[in-house]
Amino acid sequence: MKSLIDILDFSVEEIDELIYLANDIIDNPKKYSEICKGKKLANLFFEPSTRTRLSFEAAMYELGGNVIGFSEAASSSVSKGESVADTTKVISCYADIIVIRHPKEGAAYVAANNTSVPVINAGDGGHCHPTQTLADLLTIYREKGRLKDLTIGFCGDLKYGRTVHSLINALTRYDNINMVFISPKELKVPNYIKKDLLENKDVSYEETTKLEEVIPKLDILYMTRIQKERFLNAEDYLRLKDSYVLTLEKLNGAKSDMSIMHPLPRVNEISVSVDKDSRACYFKQVLNGKYIRMALIIKLLKESMNFNFDFIGYVDPNTMVNIMKDNKRIRNLNTERHKRLTNLIKCNNPRCITSTEQELEHIFELRDKEDEIYRCIYCEAKGNR
Ligand code: NCD
């Protein structure tokens, strides 16, 4: 059964297809208003959310389907000690598709391994947030008319910001994307992304602490919040929380058509006065999020729906893809290699789902043969023997 855990679970063609479908939904909403009649979506939110949870709800209602679920762990049996695996098995008896957000990295992957219905990762700790990435890609496409030849600046908390991690992953597969990472030294993009992904795929990137110096060259500025809830030390958060505040004054040096994006919620990183600037597109991004989630639900449920897709296989001529980079992430759980490693290394990441779910087997995959780098199959932390 198809799930979306990591954005690399989908090929570029599949993402193109979703963008095409979302645009068709925007133009012809009536055509889709009954398509999920009789279907149920379960929203399992173990962490706070406004946009993601409500946009999935709105998306399912606008497709004619129903929604069940909970919005905090305290109101589910998890508060009694139930595992993610058991909760998922139970919910899949009631729902046709599951959306899960959880504070532990790898939780959505555990859910997908324990059910026969499609699972959508709505954020697993500081790891990934692939549906926000779909909303971001649709926004970039609608604003710029292309997903290639772009210089994109990521600014803020690039260490814990899961939306940033997923968007970087997605963009590595398009041609001529230059990434500029703007963050305090303590909140840089994790090495597993820089080394395993960007350097291996020859994607150009630079790192800086100074937004003003790089803003003139950006086509897109992706602002993010400093992720308070991921800090183990409150003082560090207080020191870093206002590292970047985008104001109209700072925008003076930017291109007149630079798009300003933000996954929201904003805390203080974009001054409210910027909202009126024609370059601000973060509220359009929210709306795009609903439409792309409608497309995603249709895609994942299509096997069990009575609906004919005449545009399967559609590839947008504007998204020139470097085929060499278009590798999907294949996780292979049961190879001998993985089993042997299980006895040798354990995941030590305190944020990984294996830290709380004791019965989970620790499994690693070999990411870099030359340097013998193994990464946890749930959270991607490096495994040390
Ligand atoms: C993001 C998230 O939850 O990671 N929000 C969202 O889903 N749009 C960003 C954030 O919380 O900073």
pLDDT tens, per residue, the chain with 385 residues: 589 999 989 988 899 999 999 999 999 999 999 999 999 999 999 998 999 999 999 999 999 999 999 998 877 777 778 999 999 999 999 999 999 999 999 999 999 999 989 999 999 999 999 999 999 999 999 999 999 999 999 999 999 999 999 999 999 999 999 999 999 999 999 988 998 788 878 899 999 999 999 999 999 999 999 999 999 899 999 999 999 999 999 999 999 999 999 999 999 999 999 999 999 999 999 999 999 999 999 999 987 665 555 544 444 545 544 444 555 555 555 555 455 566 667 899 999 999 999 888 888 887 777 777 888 889 988 887 6
CA distance 65 to 79: 29
Domain spanning 132-279: which CATH class is it, in words?
Answer: alpha beta
Token pair of 73 as six digits: 């762990």
Q: From 166, 231, 264, give the residue whose CB has the most ligand 1 atoms within 8 Å, as the site to mutate.
A: 264
In the chain, where the domains are located: 7-129+285-319, 132-279, 336-383
CATH topology of domain 7-129+285-319: Rossmann fold (3.40.50)
Entry pTM: 0.91
- 312 CA to middle of ligand 1, Å? 30
Tell me which DSSP letter residue 147 carries. S
Distance (Å, whole) CA 298 – CA 313: 15
CATH class of 336-383: mainly beta
Q: Which residues line ligand 1 (CB under 6 A)?
A: 51-52, 123, 129, 132, 162-163, 224-225, 263-265
Binding residues for L-aspartate: 80, 162, 225
Pick from 130, 181, 109: which is nearest to 151 by CA? 181
CA distance 92 to 241: 40
Q: Which residues carry a binding-site annotation? A: 51-52, 80, 101, 129, 132, 162, 225, 264-265
Task: Give the separation between CA 4 and CA 340, rounded to whole angstroms.
Answer: 28
Check for a shared fold between 7-129+285-319 and 132-279. yes
Distance from Cα 118 to the centre of ligand 1, integer Å: 22
